Structure 1
Amino acid sequence: MSIRVGYFPHNNSLFVLRHRGILERLLPEVEWVDLRALPHPDRVDPKTALPSEHSDWLFTEGGYDIIGTGFTPPLTALANQRDIVYLGISGPRVENGRLVATAASGITSAADLKGKRVGIAHGSWQTTLLLFALDQASLTWADVEPVDVDVRGGGAALLAGELDAWVGTYPGLGEVEAATELTTLVDTASVFSHPSLWFTRRDLAEDNRAAVEAVLAALQESDAWIAANPRAAAQYFVDDAEARGIPADLDAWEAALRGRPFGVRPVSEDFLDEQQRAADLLAANGLLPHTVDVRSAVLGWVGSVVTAQAAAAV
């Protein structure tokens, strides 16, 4: 049985694993699915709902069986009654990005965002970061004008004055920092741990444990290589971008990778508490149809396997 693994550059671990040949050694019948090549549904209004494409493709023929994303997509999956299982999380990625405004705007805190245009990649971890930041400032989603932007386009829109604030991510955030002085409104560490995470369908986890263990083991091995060889790993991202006609800087990508944690950890109680708080806030602000029980997506043996593999890697 072929196992389909979804990948794209935003999940650094899976993107590098796609190029290393490690998983193929452990799981010969693996099929890599480039998420960028899949048809994307029309984006929804970021004022009213979260897109569910990650969970949709996990349960759609021609999609994938295992995926790695940021913080928000598994919540969307659960709220759309998708029976998923968490496989593991990374360490905190609190240096990966933050909510910023230009210094010239005069905006100095999240409390100043009422009525303002805020750029996010809607449906990603950026939605959760903004919602947590607003909640800390006693604001709601309805108090701002969220604008759905991609990683590169958001920075350009901020510089052009088309956005008042933006959740930026490295290396793209570095380009904006070089172009103008920025004010940090909310750093990631002050609101949540922002790990990468990996999840799958419950039926695959229960029926093909060997495949799940192989993917987790391959991720551990590949992530250890990234941590030891960040410049070589960065070259994969530069080559991919240049093949698509997108300028990319090797030094910037190396710096971005050096600032991120690698290695798969078991799902923790603290992480689940963060996920539950996010689910409750998303539902209360009309971004999910209802809240969910995130602990329903925990399968006991998976954490034991991740713990054992991590210990063996050390």
Structure 2
Amino acid sequence: MTIRVGYFPHNNSLFVLRHRGILENLLPDVEWVDLRELPRPAPVDPERGLPSLHSDHLFDGGYDFIGTGFTPPVTALANGRDIVYVGISGPRVENGRLVAKADSGIETVLDLKGKRVGIAHGSWQTTLALFALDQAGLAWKDIEPVDVDVHDGGAALLRGDLDAWVGAYPGLAAVEAAADLRTLVDTESLFSHPSLWFTRRDFAEGNREALTAIITALQQSDAWIKANPRAAAQYFVDDVVARGGTASLDAWEAALRGRPFGVEPVSEDFLDEQQHAADLLAANGLLPRTVRVRDAVVPWIGDAVRAESGVTA
């Protein structure tokens, strides 16, 4: 049986694993699926809903296993997809923040009422923006959300096309170098923002050995990233260059050094954050319904992650 693993640069762990050959040593028949090459769904109005790209391909045969940021599994569950969590990383609180130009006159999140806020809609950035608004006593309808690419958002902020932007490293570093920015809210004050991995319930239950092999390979590859951040950064730079762009090896190395690596079992605190996000997204009209995120927890998967990570229950 061919095991299809979806990957893209935004999930650093899977992107490096794709290039290391570790999983192939454990699973003889692996197919790597570049998410950037798959058909994209019709655009979703960021004022009215969330795209479900990742779960769509997980259930239409595009791939069997995927790693993303915070929001996609909540979106999948709300759209009736029978996913299960596999694991999470440690907190990525240094990865990004909500910023505005220092000379914009925007000093707090409250000043964003009626303003254009750039996000990569459907990613963790949507959750960060919504958490920030809720903390300030605002709702999604109080801003004009603008769906921007992770990289294009910074340029739009500098041009004045956006009033604020949820930026992430390494792209945020270039904007910091080009303009004085004001941090409206950081990530740490809102949520833990881990990387996470999930799959279909039927795949997990029917392919336990394969899923355990993927967890093992991720742990081994992530240990290599921690020991070799500059060599790992080169994979990302090479990918950008191959696509006709430019990238800084130093910036990518700094970004990787600031991120946690290693797969951990889902925690109660993480599930509480996911539930809070699901409830807020539904209340603000971005999901068709709210969900119970703990329905996506399978105990034996947590045990497998603990066994591979050395974490005790």
Q: Shorter-chain TM-score: what band?
A: over 0.9
Counterpart AA for 2:22 = I
Structure 1 counterpart of 2:65:
66
Structure 2 counterpart of 1:141:
140
Structure 2 counterpart of 1:34:
34
Structure 1 counterpart of 2:21:
21
Counterpart AA for 2:34 = D
2:67 and 2:39 map into 1 onto residues whose CA distance is 18
TM-score of the pair, normalised by structure 2: 0.99
Compute the displacement of 1:260 (Å): 0.2
Compute the displacement of 1:124 (Å): 0.1
1:234 and 1:117 map into 2 onto residues whose CA distance is 33
Counterpart AA for 1:81 = G
Structure 2 counterpart of 1:158:
157
Counterpart AA for 1:150 = D
SS state at 1:135 partner? helix
The 5 A counterparts of 1:215-234 are 215-234=214-233
Structure 2 counterpart of 1:6:
6
Counterpart AA for 1:309 = E
1:240 and 1:214 map into 2 onto residues whose CA distance is 26
Q: Does 2:300 correspond to 1:301?
A: yes
User: What 5-or-longer segments of structure 2 have no aligned partner?
Assistant: none
Structure 2 counterpart of 1:200:
199
Structure 2 counterpart of 1:209:
208
The 5 A counterparts of 1:97-176 are 97-176=96-175
1:238 and 1:43 map into 2 onto residues whose CA distance is 28
Compute the displacement of 1:304 (Å): 0.8
Counterpart AA for 2:70 = F
Q: Which runs of 4+ in 1 moved over 4 A?
A: none
Question: Percent identity between the aligned chains?
Answer: 77
Compute the displacement of 1:229 (Å): 0.2
Compute the displacement of 1:179 (Å): 0.1
The 5 A counterparts of 1:168-187 are 168-187=167-186
Structure 2 counterpart of 1:76:
75
Deviation readout 1:74-112 (Å, 9 max, x if unpaired): 001000100001000000000000000000101111111
Structure 1 counterpart of 2:246:
247
SS state at 1:86 partner? strand
Structure 2 counterpart of 1:287:
286
Compute the displacement of 1:17 (Å): 0.1
Compute the displacement of 1:132 (Å): 0.1
2:137 and 2:55 map into 1 onto residues whose CA distance is 31
Counterpart AA for 2:103 = A
SS state at 2:202 partner? helix
2:51 and 2:302 map into 1 onto residues whose CA distance is 28
SS state at 2:192 partner? coil
1:41 and 1:202 map into 2 onto residues whose CA distance is 23
Deviation readout 1:234-283 (Å, 9 max, x if unpaired): 00000000000111000000000000000000000000000000000000
C-alpha RMSD of the superposition: 0.6
Compute the displacement of 1:13 (Å): 0.2
Aligned residues: 311
2:84 and 2:152 map into 1 onto residues whose CA distance is 33
User: What 5-or-longer segments of structure 1 have no aligned partner?
Assistant: none
SS state at 1:99 partner? strand
Compute the displacement of 1:308 (Å): 1.2
Compute the displacement of 1:12 (Å): 0.2
1:28 and 1:262 map into 2 onto residues whose CA distance is 25
TM-score of the pair, normalised by structure 1: 0.98
2:202 and 2:49 map into 1 onto residues whose CA distance is 27
1:31 and 1:167 map into 2 onto residues whose CA distance is 33
2:99 and 2:114 map into 1 onto residues whose CA distance is 16
Structure 2 counterpart of 1:46:
46
Deviation readout 1:196-241 (Å, 9 max, x if unpaired): 0000000010011001000000000000000000000000000000
SS state at 2:66 partner? strand
